[in-house]
Amino acid sequence: MNPPPSTARTCLGVVLAAGEGVRMRSATPKALHEVAGRPMIVHALAALREAGASAVAVVVGPGRDDVAAAARAYFADAEIFLQSERRGTAHATLAARAAIARGFDDVLVVYADAPLLTAPSLGALREALADDVDLAALAFEATNPTGYGRMIERGGRLVAIREEKDATAAERAIRRCNAGPLAVGGAHALALLEAVGCDNAQGEFYLTDLAGIAAGRGLRAETRLAAEEEAMGVNDRVQLAAAEGAMQRRLRRKAMLEGATLVAPETVFLSADVAIGRDVVIEPHVVIGKGVAIGDGAVIHAFSHLEGAKVAGGAAIGPYARLRPGADIAAKAKVGNFVEIKAATIEAGAKVNHLTYIGDARVGAGTNIGAGTITCNYDGFGKYRTDIGAGVFIGSNSALVAPVRIGDGAYVGSGSVITDDVEADALAVGRGRQVVKPGWAKAFREKMKKKG
């Protein structure tokens, strides 16, 4: 295996993201449809960044400020270029002429609708360029090559990439197919792109023609192999679901190999950015969305849903719990069944066990929140905070009306509505006084029977 490309080599990543995605039948541009909680264009950018791209050019269609914004949200220095007319992939790549002309050592071209592409495969293309290859194209051995461009090779060299509509019968029998991404030496990139014509069945400027042009000029072109899965493009909702399934299998496997136990892996859904520690146990039917970090030894019980949350080591979540963005669960805290936490810190050893909503709040260390408790954090206009100290006991079915503070060690009687601050170690009871009328129920029944 060739050594990795030198860190001294500069690399421009060009992301083609101007496709309309008509078959998606969506108001959302294709590049922004998500796989594992991440827009497809961000998957492409992540692979480029991991492969060492030092700069990125993103080619978008007219009016696609949303695609540009998504690219810059992940890769702040991404340059945006407009392909005003859709005349093929080489034409789209040339839209980034100004970036390519800066003279990068490597130019990597990828597609925004191929979310399963991996950094090691792009790294293999860069390694080829570092080993005096002038153009390297990513290929795969197709189970069924129908619909893919074929890699035409002679003597270990790539001489052409033939689109199926333009291929001969013999060429269509070839099983080594074009995966899409390619890398070209920066010294040749513009000259090769400018030489692409449109004499083909579609009348378009194909990026794949670079291989034949390079070979015709005596340049060295080769292929590098990737898994077939990496070539999966997304053009409709069926393919989007297939890509999601493949990505989930990849993410589950990674989590387990890194030390987490997934009791029923096929029922667990993970976001691409999830961070899962060692000895974490995730029970069946758990959804872990964007922005979640789970510390070593935590347990996520069945049917829980987490998003934008932090769970520290040794904490237990669920079953049937929901952690919304801003939930911060400290070590050995417990969030139980049918509990919802939003923008709240649950400190070490605190327990929120049953049928409870905690929002815009702090729950101090060792505090116990009784079943049915809610923090009333919204008045229809603004959100307000509830601060619950350490070692507090909140009785069941209590309503804490924010803004309010419960001091350390305080006790709130069950069924209370708390609207004023409670000092440390005090008892607060906010409910109507109980009245008992002996014999009332018996007399009421007899009265009603007589009426009947």
Q: What are the helix and strand counts (H, E) for the chain? A: 10, 34
Kindly name the residue from 43, 91, 301, 354 that is annotated as catalytic.
Answer: 354
Q: Report d(CA 55, CA 47) in Å as an integer.
A: 13
The answer to whether 384 and 367 have CB atoms below 8 angstroms apart is no
Q: Could you give the CA distance from residue 256 to residue 290 in angstroms, rounded to a whole number?
A: 19
- Neighbouring residues of 278: CB distance < 8 A, sequence distance ≥ 6: 258, 259, 260, 296, 297
Q: Distance between CA atoms of 52 and 5, rounded to whole angstroms?
A: 9
Spell out where 347-385 has E strands.
Answer: 351-363, 368-369, 374-376
Q: Are 189 and 219 in contact (CB under 8 A)?
A: no
Strand partners, 109: 14, 182
Active site (annotated) includes residue 354: yes
Which are the contacts of 184, defined by CB distance < 8 A and separation ≥ 6? 106, 107, 109, 129, 134, 135, 136, 192, 210, 214
Q: Which residues contact 379 (CB under 8 A, 6 or more apart)?
A: none
Q: Which long-range contacts (CB under 8 A, 24 or more apart) does 279-282 make?
A: 282/255
CA 48 – CA 268 distance, rounded (Å) = 28
Is-contact 113 19, C-beta < 8 A? Answer: yes
- Give the integer Cα–Cα distance in Å for 235 and 185: 30
CA dist., res. 371 & res. 368, Å (int)? 10
Burial of 337 (0-12, 13-18, 19+ CB in 10 A): middle
How far, in Å, CA of 98 to CA of 94, rounded?
9
**Distance (Å, rounded) from C-alpha 2 to C-alpha 199?**
37
Q: How many residues does the chain have?
A: 452
> Under 8 Å CB-to-CB from 7, ≥6 apart: which residues?
52
Give the span between the Cα atoms of 346 and 222, in whole angstroms.
56
Q: Specify the amino acid at residue 320.
A: Y
23 contact partners, CB below 8 Å, separation of at least 6: 235, 236
Residues with catalytic roles: 354
